Amino acid sequence: MFVPALRHWRWWFRSPEYRAWLRFNRKLGREPRRRPGTVTFRGQRIGYVDAASFLSAWHEIFVLGGYEVRPPVGGGVPLLIDAGANIGLAALFWKTRYSVFRYIGFEPDPAVAEACRANLAAWECGGTLHEAAVAGHVGRQRFGRDYADGGALGAATTAAETIEVATVRLADFLVEPVDLLKIDVEGAEDEVLADIESQLGWVRNLFVEVHSARGEPQRWGALVDRLQRAGFRCYVRPLLPPWRPLIELSPGGAAYDEQFNVFAVRPAAQTGSSS
């Protein structure tokens, strides 16, 4: 990932997270995909299941700080609900920012969930990790494993290996104010958001990673409309922008021809005022 020189030196002096990312890149940059390992940050152990996805997630979460929110008004304990927890980096980031917080996570892949539980325990995050996928129904469903960060439910998966996993409704957990709801569920985001639409009033800040596969209708317009109707102001950050979108699709033969992050915030949460 290219970083302009001025930004590089500014981050180098100000951000231990950025210096750690450079160190991780030197150590892991040529690691084979899907080989588990460990790194340390400030003396704390972090286990990963795939070096490339770890490096990408560390930069997004720790360097760019995309999951940082204003603390609750009145000094309450913030709540993070993490749908698609992977190895738990969102919780580890919150540990560095808020020290004490409540955590509810969901990760359906058994191997990835094991790494997540170990990280949460090593960093003394507490909370609950459910070894399940979030969906619009409670039951069981086929899940495609990729031993990294791209496991997906049902029709969304292109993985060669599939297992059966439990599914839960995220709606059943939205029963109190949530300071950040993170949804990174590899193509199931439409189903999940439709199921929780009536309960989005509990959510102060929301992050969702959105995917569109080739040949499918583009989802971002309807998704942003849904969040705006729920009272959010939305900010979109592309992840797979074709350099010449009028004549080519996404680079590298990716499964998705469009992928982007949506950050949705209630205007009162930006200022720290109560709604």
Domain boundary residue, one of 45, 66, 87: 66
User: Is the pLDDT score of 273 beyond 50?
Assistant: no
Give the 3-state secondary structure of residue 154. helix
pLDDT grade, residue 2 (50/70/90)?
low
| Least confident range of 14-18, 28-32, 165-169, 257-261 | 257-261
Percent of the chain with pLDDT over 70: 89
Structural domains counted in the chain: 2
> Do 19 and 6 have their domain in common?
yes
| pLDDT, average across residues 7-21 | 87
Contact (CB, 8 A) for 107 and 113: yes
Domain boundary residue, one of 66, 85, 112: 66
Residue 96, burial from CB neighbour count under 10 angstroms (0-12, 13-18, 19+): middle
CA 50 centroid distance within chain: 15
| pLDDT, average across residues 72-86 | 93
Give the pLDDT confidence score for residue 137 in this predicted structure: 94
Q: Which residues contact 173 (CB under 8 A, 6 or more apart)?
A: 81, 104
> Do 49 and 76 have their domain in common?
no
Residue numbers of the domain that contains 204: 69-271
Give the containing element (helix H, strand E) for 229. Answer: helix 220-229
> Do 83 and 179 have their domain in common?
yes
Domain boundary residue, one of 31, 48, 66: 66
Give the pLDDT confidence score for residue 109 in this predicted structure: 96
Give the pLDDT confidence score for residue 216 in this predicted structure: 74
> Do 57 and 188 have their domain in common?
no
Q: Considering only CA atoms, which of 170, 198, 174 is closest in space to residue 184? A: 170
**Parallel, antiparallel, or unpaired: how do β-strands 161-169 and 133-135 relate?**
parallel
Task: Give the residues across from 40 on adjacent strands.
Answer: 45
For 149-189, what is each residue's pLDDT tens digit? 888 887 555 666 899 999 999 999 999 999 999 999 987 89
Torsions phi, psi for 241 (to 5 deg): -85, 115
> Do 99 and 58 have their domain in common?
no
Q: Considering only CA atoms, which of 191, 215, 212 is closest in space to residue 259? A: 212
Residue 57, number of CB atoms within 10 A of its CB: 19
Give the pLDDT confidence score for residue 198 in this predicted structure: 95
CA distances from 122 to 83, 125, 136, 148 (A): 21, 8, 32, 21
Q: Considering only CA atoms, which of 187, 188, 196 is closest in space to residue 232? A: 196
> Do 82 and 181 have their domain in common?
yes
> Do 115 and 227 have their domain in common?
yes
> Do 33 and 93 have their domain in common?
no
Give the pLDDT confidence score for residue 242 in this predicted structure: 65
Give the pLDDT confidence score for residue 255 in this predicted structure: 64
Distance separating alpha carbons of residues 151 and 50, to the nearest angstrom: 12
Distance separating alpha carbons of residues 38 and 19, to the nearest angstrom: 17
pLDDT grade, residue 274 (50/70/90)?
very low
| Least confident range of 35-44, 61-70, 161-170, 235-244 | 235-244
Distance separating alpha carbons of residues 27 and 35, to the nearest angstrom: 13
> Do 124 and 49 have their domain in common?
no
> Do 62 and 73 have their domain in common?
no
pLDDT grade, residue 148 (50/70/90)?
confident
| pLDDT, average across residues 113-135 | 97
> Do 77 and 189 have their domain in common?
yes
| pLDDT, average across residues 96-106 | 97
User: Which CATH number does the domain housing residue 99 bear?
Assistant: 3.40.50.150
For 237-256, what is each residue's pLDDT tens digit? 887 666 677 776 655 445 66
Give the pLDDT confidence score for residue 254 in this predicted structure: 55
> Do 87 and 202 have their domain in common?
yes
pLDDT grade, residue 84 (50/70/90)?
very high
